[in-house]
Structure 1
């Protein structure tokens, strides 16, 4: 098998930062030793030597929250797995975890099979979360199928009732009991539906329907209220709970209170809630900045950064949702749209540039939240998210001095405009290895469909 020697980089993982060289053999990591240890082997036939002097070497990043193919009554995102995986590979990501829509016939085996078919064109490896928009005794009996199929987590909603996504409190209680038995992790889109609907009615009656009112109609307190309810329900059921895309300082305070009561609450946030704010919704390009939950104030962002700095967040993910803003421009915005922005290509550069370079977090903490923790929490570790000998050679090579303007012309996104078009980052991924193969270096170097499904085992949280 072809061997590669990656030398002279600074390696960063959950063990720390060290000056080591790696040997890759086929798809696996075959060895790690102190810098220079393999020098005598460099002239061997069949060994490719890659000098990474001045660069960092990370475990391949795991983006735990992407939306390649997401449907609802109000909109449909069908970017396709090939396009999303291309953006991921360009951003140093080697594994994405996407979502499977709830099957109307309650047949999870069929739903997973169909999603695998859609994902076959992916360049990076992939796994899935299963969305649950209904729950009853029959669905409870079928949950065991998910474990057999390599699905370790389900996602539920406390909002979007009209869209048919919301589970009732009674359904959640029954679901949480079932998840305790099956050891499947619950993750939640948390917003209080009643409050949102009341505010929507108030603002609509006054004809306050401009995009800038999105934050007022879906305020941070709505997220916090939902998290408080969910946390107490999870505490009663004695299960861990994972909150996706936490966006508000009020929510972080609710999490602190729940943790003080010994609730097992794990949280994720996204770059846009740390670096963009609601002033963008007052701009002429407001459509570029629509997402749910919506953007909050700049002060709110500062409070979330404090939480990240204090290790209160376990995962940073993109919540990649490449919904075309022009679709809303054509059809109109109704405050019920399921919307978001692209982000899997830019997450590493943004968080390094704004987080590490500004001394908010260390580079080791960054890699733990972008690679190690998501792999552990969603049952992919150590094959993903680690540099253990014998595991998949998923690697991200990072140049801390490379500068890049994040305008659309410099990115692989299909969006005509980038929400980060006025950001210049310093620090960018330059090489992405997936299972030992160099899949991206300035351009795509892998065949379409060369990614594969990764079977997820039980979450490390159980």
Structure 2
């Protein structure tokens, strides 16, 4: 036994109970009412909650975009993740023209592996679908990358997949057990509305929201779900932010289709009113934050289970880069931070009584592990799984500030947000990587996680 966590209240997606946890060689080897330490390191978690580490299944670290690169390197992003109780990060590897799927993942891994402070995996963004790429999907699944993303937007940037590409990939996913995720917005409406606002001299951050309001996202959600239903394939909607989309997901799931939806903390806490603020450009992301009605629908979707996961879409840019668009919203790099804030924010909302702690573990840990095929290792506190464990103090009051975050970004949209309760320790495979505000891990500790998904045929 290397480590014994004693006297804590263990919270999983299904249960809440008091027990000790024994860890050896990075794995949970025993859970019992009382475990003798026999010289192992002992952590007394009396009065604290013991949770599985969160999984952030949607990040963009060190990502080239909009004429720059997202502000957090793999080291900075995974460091911040650890300090917020997230012990596994899924990043997006963007396919370049002419490159293969596994080649794309290996190229990103060369950047990530020496830097990663927690475990990681990749989704590959398909932007150049050729017959040989379609054929490679099965090899990629066997390699341990069974999840892929397509953009239904960013036509001018050359990233968009049309409906034909999407349907080809959905059909291939049915044959191979892969999972296709989509960024769902209507690009033609966005371009049309953007052009109109620019001609009218309406260039503030508010018009980022107005160029892609609720119905622009909802139409694409409905279209993506329509194709998945028609082909009887699973689909995963990333960063869902609107009420109509939630309703469409619910209808499809009620009919028995394998439809998953993810939302993000920024949509649960902020509304489109932030775009009227003087610093509104700092909140620019796509899809943008929506109105209160959509926000309420998202919370209800979490409670009913129609929203399966919470992730961050962490893709921050420095203040100076956001300032490129102070006079023209189209020049603002799209993206917000959240990798260190997701778990603490959701747990705080549970601590305030909005949802249960079990539900937070479900959407932030267990469901991402199950949906993306790493639940043999991650997602819950169970004997045999990795000792990715968070100790949470429900009595600790915490106010988010740039000064107490661990990212490389020079501001945070979460500045001044008050949380009830906060993580005080994070273990990654049994290694203490965060304690009482201090990062204790090291770059290169994180391992690439090979994943498996079931075939539907």
Q: Which runs of 5+ in 1 are unaligned?
A: none
Question: Take 1:459 and 1:289, find their aligned partners in 2: how far apart are those partners?
Answer: 38
- Match for residue 345 of structure 2 among 337, 346, 350: 350
How far does residue 360 in structure 1 lie from its aligned partner after superposition?
2.5
Match of 1:25 in 2: 24
Q: Is the 8 A contact 1:231 1:263 kept in 2?
A: no
Q: Secondary structure at the match of 2:105?
A: helix
Q: Secondary structure at the match of 1:312?
A: coil
1:263-297 per-residue CA deviation (whole Å, 9 max, x = no partner) reads 32110101110101121111111122111111112
Match of 1:238 in 2: 232
Q: Which runs of 5+ in 2 are unaligned?
A: none
Match of 1:316 in 2: 310
Indicate the larger mover: 73-82 or 149-158: 73-82
Question: Take 1:139 and 1:336, find their aligned partners in 2: how far apart are those partners?
Answer: 33
1:92-125 per-residue CA deviation (whole Å, 9 max, x = no partner) reads 1111000101132232222221111111211100
Q: Is the 8 A contact 2:281 2:332 kept in 1?
A: no
Indicate the larger mover: 19-28 or 66-75: 66-75
The count of corresponding residues between Structure 1 and Structure 2 is: 454
Q: Is the 8 A contact 2:197 2:203 kept in 1?
A: yes
TM-score (normalised: structure 2) = 0.95
Question: Take 2:401 and 2:85, find their aligned partners in 1: how far apart are those partners?
Answer: 18
Runs of 4+ in structure 1 deviating by more than 4 angstroms, as ranges, are 331-334, 459-462
Match of 1:101 in 2: 94
How far does residue 374 in structure 1 lie from its aligned partner after superposition?
0.3
How far does residue 444 in structure 1 lie from its aligned partner after superposition?
1.9
Indicate the larger mover: 188-197 or 249-258: 249-258
- Match for residue 110 of structure 2 among 98, 114, 117: 117
**Mapping of 1:269-348 within 5 angstroms?**
269-330=263-324, 333-335=328-330, 339-348=334-343
How far does residue 199 in structure 1 lie from its aligned partner after superposition?
1.2
Question: Take 2:156 and 2:67, find their aligned partners in 1: how far apart are those partners?
Answer: 10
Q: Is the 8 A contact 1:108 1:146 kept in 2?
A: yes
Match of 1:426 in 2: 420
How far does residue 459 in structure 1 lie from its aligned partner after superposition?
5.7
The CA RMSD over aligned residues, in Å, is 1.8
1:399-431 per-residue CA deviation (whole Å, 9 max, x = no partner) reads 111111101111112222221112111111111
Question: Take 1:431 and 1:454, find their aligned partners in 2: how far apart are those partners?
Answer: 23
1:134-174 per-residue CA deviation (whole Å, 9 max, x = no partner) reads 22312111112311321110000111100111111111222
1:132 aligns with 2:126: yes
Q: Is the 8 A contact 1:59 1:385 kept in 2?
A: yes
Question: Take 2:311 and 2:455, find their aligned partners in 1: how far apart are those partners?
Answer: 18
How far does residue 54 in structure 1 lie from its aligned partner after superposition?
0.7
TM-score (normalised: structure 1) = 0.94
1:385 aligns with 2:384: no
Question: Take 1:109 and 1:284, find their aligned partners in 2: how far apart are those partners?
Answer: 44
Question: Take 2:120 and 2:325, find their aligned partners in 1: how far apart are those partners?
Answer: 33
- Match for residue 164 of structure 2 among 160, 170, 179: 170
Question: Take 1:23 and 1:4, find their aligned partners in 2: how far apart are those partners?
Answer: 6
Q: Is the 8 A contact 1:378 1:460 kept in 2?
A: no
1:82 aligns with 2:81: no
- Match for residue 173 of structure 2 among 158, 174, 179: 179
How far does residue 461 in structure 1 lie from its aligned partner after superposition?
8.5
- Match for residue 404 of structure 2 among 407, 410, 430: 410
Match of 1:454 in 2: 449
Q: Is the 8 A contact 1:7 1:50 kept in 2?
A: yes
Indicate the larger mover: 368-377 or 71-80: 71-80
Question: Take 1:337 and 1:242, find their aligned partners in 2: how far apart are those partners?
Answer: 27
Q: Secondary structure at the match of 1:335?
A: helix
How far does residue 337 in structure 1 lie from its aligned partner after superposition?
5.4
* Residue 247 to residue 87, structure 1, CA distance change in 2 (3 Å): same
1:67 aligns with 2:67: no
Match of 1:252 in 2: 246
Match of 2:197 in 1: 203
